[in-house]
Amino acid sequence: MSQVEKLRIESGSVYSRQEAAEALGISLSTLKRLIKKGHLKVSKPDGMRRVFITGESILGMLHDTVVERGA
């Protein structure tokens, strides 16, 4: 059985929603909820459907996250 390696999050890089979800080990729907609730900042160029998430935004969210005991 082979182990899947997680994508390393780099602060100066830009990620798609799918890449960010994979790097965080969460589903795409969970990532979309994090974006909708304002936990992740995204860029969406005019006229494009594609959304970009900076590594800085991902790392910032992780830094600001409080881990609760028993969660």
What residue spans define the domains of the chain?
16-64
Alpha helices in the chain (DSSP H): 17-24, 28-36, 55-64
- The phi and psi torsions of 54 (rounded to 5 degrees) equal -80, 150
pLDDT at 2 (0 to 100): 45
* Contact indicator for 58, 43 with CB cutoff of 8 Å: no
Residue 1 has pLDDT above 50, yes or no: no
Rounded CA separation 46/18 (Å): 20
Per-residue pLDDT tens over the stretch 13-69? 999 999 999 999 999 999 999 999 999 999 988 998 888 999 999 999 998 887 777
pLDDT at 71 (0 to 100): 57
pLDDT at 56 (0 to 100): 95
pLDDT at 26 (0 to 100): 94
Query: Whole-model pTM?
Result: 0.76
| Residue partners of 50: CB distance under 8 A and separation at least 6 | 16, 44
